[in-house]
Structure 1
Amino acid sequence: MKRSIVRTLAAVTAAIAPFATVSAVAPAAQAASVSAAQKADGIAPAKISLNTETQGLSEDTTTWRSIIKSWNDKGFDNIQEVSAYSPSMKRHIPLVVIQPKDKEKRDNAPTLYMLNGADGGQGIANWIRQTDIVTYYGGNSDPSKGTVSPGIGANIVIPMTGAYSYYTDWVTEPNTSEIKGPQKWETFLTRELPQAIEPALKANDKRAIAGMSMTGTTSLLYAQHHPGFYDSVGSFSGCAATTTGLTPKFIDLVLNRGGTDFTKMWGPVNGEVARNNDALINAEKLRGQKNIYVSTSSGFPGEHDMPWSERVNGQLSSAAPVIFEGAVIEGATNACTRDLARKTNALGIPVKYNFRPAGTHQWGYWQDDLRGYWNDLVNGLGTGAERPKLQPTKPISPEDYWAGSTSGS
């Protein structure tokens, strides 16, 4: 019981804290436009190797590679692993890149950066394992292979490492069994990577950022820290506040799993760095950001939590943590999101809020968010892709990878 409570609190923290093997260098004519502000600080671009397995990763943190292979074997040549070397972190970062299934839509496509939760996608909690993002956002015309959809017409870039990092720039350099070396994730994802991956994919200058659970906070912070850089922002089951009340203690529960703590990440709770990473305090900085979508459920069990649902599929041992832990976590994110809504409404900042009357903190609802976010996303990216009519959703194709995961950790 004690272990379950600790796991629940840690998960709450994650929610409320926030194809050639060569380096690809695109010709100048193909390079995406990155804002002057992103280049002016002299940050060097990442080095990109398309269709390349990132070296030095343990097998238990790369089970997602089998999913890429499964899709490739099904004829989906639009999903690949990309290795990106980060100058600031001095290591190679694995990415999953999903391009439009329709080859005619690939050149000059916009880019969606999609963030996993607290485990960085290294376990079973990631977008390609838990949702139909490959077919629904990438596109698919064959109902036998998954959700039928025209796709959003964008390149989707998903980092597949970064457990317990909060995808932020740390004030110290941790050296634990779980987290080692410089943690400069915001520098990498907003400075180094866009300068490299967008030209390599022949992308245009439109981009969006979205995340769930822990990274539902991160996506809001990136939009605040880099005004004008994103054309759309998605935050699913996250929490804007990170420094008030007991939140720093909850954050420590997650960071302790990586052998570190809040002060090593952001310094003193009331310090400048920490407060700069509180999206509720800095809600005013969302002014001018277009196409913001923020979602949360109530915490009451919903359609994806029932034992007979396709997600649970009669696995009662899986249904219990989904309903208990997921309810507690989502109840917390619901309160956080209502705080943000009150503040943005008072400030006159337009945000599309999706308050679901039922649902817990689990992937069935984040798959629903792929649908709920569609219009705000494609409006920002300018693709004009029409959202397909509502279809019954299945766990995943080509296999069921769910395995009972509830939170983003």
Structure 2
Amino acid sequence: MGIHIRGRYGTLLAPLLALALTGAATASADPDLPPIAELTAAARPAVDGSRLTGIAEGPGRMVDIQVYSAAMNSTITVKVLRALDDSKPAPVLYLLNGANGGTDGSSWTQQTDVADFFAGKQATVVIPMGGRGSYFTDWQTDDPVLGRQRWTTFLTRELPAVIDSTFHGSGANAIAGISMAGTSVFQLALAAPGLYRAIGSYSGCAQTSTPAGEVFVAAVVTRWAGNTVNMWGPFGNPAWAANDPYLHADRLRGTAIYVSSGTGLAGPLDTLDGPGIDGNAGKLIAQLTSGGVLDAVTNQCSHAFQSRLADLNIPATFVFRTLGTHSWGYWQQDLHDSWPLFTAAFDR
């Protein structure tokens, strides 16, 4: 279903038209959940006009929503796992995919047990799709290949308004991400103070403005043919330091923080019968090689960030696996292990 209404009466007519279009035929398969029509009618736009334009029932408690971003002038697909009772207020966990933006079958919904894990929990889980190679930041200039990237604006100002109104957000939010997004979660928290009560960074690197950090970021962005000059300018430009969580870690005080990384050495999940491998020797070799190198790098970054937070006397939970690569099996474990920290932050 798509809702496209313009003009001064759009705000008033959209909920009514949504009800007319959906009707009883789109009622949720789960009798304990409000029907799609009720969710659509509840949706409210963000201040800049970003809004819900479509919603479709998925398997179980999943719905796929379409959200128009005014900042990017495009429509973003967002997967939402509805809370146990989404007619009542629920905290929201934003889960970010990695450098490929959730494409090619590499996303939280396809590679982990996220749907089963949250099945009985009174929490809404929001998984934006897209943003490959973007670092989920606001780029200074549109990129010839990646296009207009204004993810900070979308994730901190536009999407929350739609999610909270549609799914009865309680105002308590957390954000977690893997790999590239393990950096972005800190940058987003710094850009929107108070929006997130907790942060989870799984195999991320919280340093972006050191020579090594710049090279690492550039390697991720150019993997998708993007140009970091369009993102933060040339190396050494003040924007690189402005987006460096390590340099601005003092502003994270009061936020619950969970950081994890492996060492890159083969671990218990790096086997032919490990998660996502399915007996494919080629996948296993890639996980042991490139996945090993990546977690060796994030391990160093995470240790440096631990020292930085300790110097600032900012409490945080750090989990350093002595074994393990840059791969979904470990990140699923990270999500499970960090959930108690998130729930404690929601209850504050």
Question: Of 301, 326, 334, which residue of structure 1 is paired with 2:291?
Answer: 326
CA 1:23–1:308: 2 relative to 1, 3 Å: closer
**Does structure 1 residue 98 correspond to structure 2 residue 81?**
yes
State the SS of the aligned residue for 1:359: coil
Structure 1 residue 50, shift from structure 2 partner: 4.8
Question: Of 8, 31, 40, which residue of structure 2 is paired with 1:24?
Answer: 40
Who is 2:335 aligned against?
A: 370
Structure 1 residue 114, shift from structure 2 partner: 0.7
Who is 2:95 aligned against?
A: 114
List alignment gaps of at least 5 residues for structure 2. 1-34
**1:307-346 matches, cutoff 5 A:** 307-346=272-311
Q: Answer with 333-342 or 308-317: which moved more.
A: 308-317
Structure 1 residue 257, shift from structure 2 partner: 3.5
* Cα distance in structure 2, aligned partners of 1:45 and 1:350: 38
**Does structure 1 residue 195 correspond to structure 2 residue 161?**
yes
Structure 1 residue 197, shift from structure 2 partner: 1.6
Contact 2:306–2:318 (CA under 8 A) maintained in structure 1: yes
Contact 1:23–1:47 (CA under 8 A) maintained in structure 2: no
CA 1:110–1:345: 2 relative to 1, 3 Å: same
Structure 1 residue 340, shift from structure 2 partner: 0.1
State the SS of the aligned residue for 1:204: strand
Structure 1 residue 311, shift from structure 2 partner: 4.3
TM-score scaled by length of structure 1: 0.72
**Does structure 1 residue 154 correspond to structure 2 residue 135?**
no
Letter in 2 for 1:339: A
List alignment gaps of at least 5 residues for structure 1. 1-18, 32-38, 53-67, 140-149, 384-409
Q: Which has the higher contact order (CA 8 A, sep 6+)?
A: 1
State the SS of the aligned residue for 1:110: strand
Question: Of 51, 55, 79, which residue of structure 2 is paired with 1:51?
Answer: 55
**Does structure 1 residue 130 correspond to structure 2 residue 95?**
no
Contact 1:116–1:211 (CA under 8 A) maintained in structure 2: yes
Structure 1 residue 380, shift from structure 2 partner: 1.5
- 1:94-147 deviation line (CA, Å, top 9, x unaligned): 0000012x3x3652111111100011112221100000001102x1xxxxxxxx
Contact 2:86–2:167 (CA under 8 A) maintained in structure 1: no
Structure 1 residue 22, shift from structure 2 partner: 9.8
How large is the Cα RMSD of the aligned pairs?
A: 2.3
Who is 2:170 aligned against?
A: 204
Letter in 1 for 2:240: A
State the SS of the aligned residue for 2:171: coil
* Cα distance in structure 2, aligned partners of 1:253 and 1:45: 35
Who is 2:71 aligned against?
A: 88
TM-score scaled by length of structure 2: 0.84
Q: % of aligned pairs identical?
A: 34
* Cα distance in structure 1, aligned partners of 2:337 and 2:37: 37
Letter in 1 for 2:51: K
* Cα distance in structure 2, aligned partners of 1:25 and 1:242: 42
Structure 1 residue 255, shift from structure 2 partner: 2.3
* Cα distance in structure 1, aligned partners of 2:62 and 2:171: 21
Contact 2:324–2:330 (CA under 8 A) maintained in structure 1: yes
* Cα distance in structure 2, aligned partners of 1:248 and 1:272: 12
CA 1:122–1:353: 2 relative to 1, 3 Å: same
Runs of 4+ residues over 6 Å off in structure 1: none
State the SS of the aligned residue for 2:208: coil
**Does structure 1 residue 356 correspond to structure 2 residue 337?**
no
Structure 1 residue 46, shift from structure 2 partner: 2.0
Who is 2:24 aligned against?
A: none
Q: Answer with 112-121 or 266-275: which moved more.
A: 266-275
Structure 1 residue 20, shift from structure 2 partner: 4.4
* Cα distance in structure 1, aligned partners of 2:277 and 2:76: 33
* Cα distance in structure 2, aligned partners of 1:187 and 1:95: 15
Letter in 2 for 1:324: T
* Cα distance in structure 2, aligned partners of 1:48 and 1:221: 25
Structure with the higher strand share, 1 or 2:
2
